Structure 1
Amino acid sequence: MFAITPRISDDTALFSLLDELRDPYNVYQQRNLLPVRFGDGSIGHIGGRIGDSQVENTDKEFRIRLDLSCYKPEEVKITTNSHRVTVHAKHEERRDNHGFVSREMTRTYKLPNDVDVHSASSTMNNNGTLTIKLSKTALEAPKEVTIPVEFNKE
């Protein structure tokens, strides 16, 4: 008896293989990759698994993209405070190709200190990608301060 050890050239492939082996229901999940354009013009992908997300933190905004393709916009609730954003999605039991399914997920993101939580906005596209944007607070340039000169007659 002997063991077969696969040769994997990089850690990403290894962790991907381990995830596939750990998740016995992985064959039933969609593997569609949805193209996403980032703020710098580059194109990436979000998707592969329901609940996958990407976080982008730039000088101007903090952005979260989350794959919620199994949920309708009215099934998603987003809350925020000065420290975090929480996304909660839930739908009741419904029929699908394999029988009945109900889903619920909660994902929480830590916010940087320089975001304005009152600027938070969200959109969901036809593919089920939820985008949450929060603007950064403007850092005020130091104002010029005049220091009076006092005359001391000694």
Structure 2
Amino acid sequence: MHLFKPNEISVKVVEDNIVIEGKHEEKEDEHGFVYRHFVRRYILPKDSSADDVTFTISSDGVLTVTAPRKEFRLCEVNQYLLPSNRV
């Protein structure tokens, strides 16, 4: 993400997808003028909530997107042994 400033990156949840978009207007670099735009789409895990998706960009430009898994309640399972019908 070092080619984009934090305000040029957006992370959205659209339906069951995490959509990451980076875009900046034309800028001059050592080779001339450049315009950059990208879009990446990832399927949100089924056991994650769109409301809990967060992202951060580190000082060295690493984008981290987090989609925590929903907690599942463990329930007790009773096991019964059935008699065998052997002859």
Name the counterpart of 1:116: 49
**Mapping 1:3-152, distance limit 5 Å:** 68-142=1-75
Structure 1: state its 5+ residue gaps: 1-67, 145-154
TM-score (norm: length of structure 1): 0.47
**Which secondary structure state, in structure 1, belongs to the residue aligned with residue 51 of structure 2?**
helix
Contact 2:2 2:61 (C-alpha < 8 Å) held by counterparts:
yes
Quote the offset at 1:116 in angstroms.
Answer: 1.9
Higher relative contact order (CA 8 A, sep 6+): 2
Q: How large is the Cα RMSD of the aligned pairs? A: 1.7
Shift of the alpha carbon at 1:82? 4.9
Superposed displacement of residue 118, structure 1: 1.3
Amino acid at match of 1:94: K
| Alpha-carbon separation, structure 2, partners of 1:135 and 1:119 | 7
**TM-score of the two chains, using structure 2 as the length reference:** 0.79
The 1:82–1:140 alpha-carbon spacing in structure 2 relative to 1, beyond 3 Å, is: farther
Q: Aligned residue for 2:82? A: none
The structure where helix makes up a greater share of residues is 1
Q: Amino acid of the residue matched to residue 64 of structure 2? A: T
Q: How far 1:143 sits from its partner (Å)? A: 7.0
User: Percent identity, aligned pairs only?
Assistant: 29
| Unaligned runs of at least 5 residues, structure 2 | 78-87
Q: Deviation at 1:142?
A: 2.7
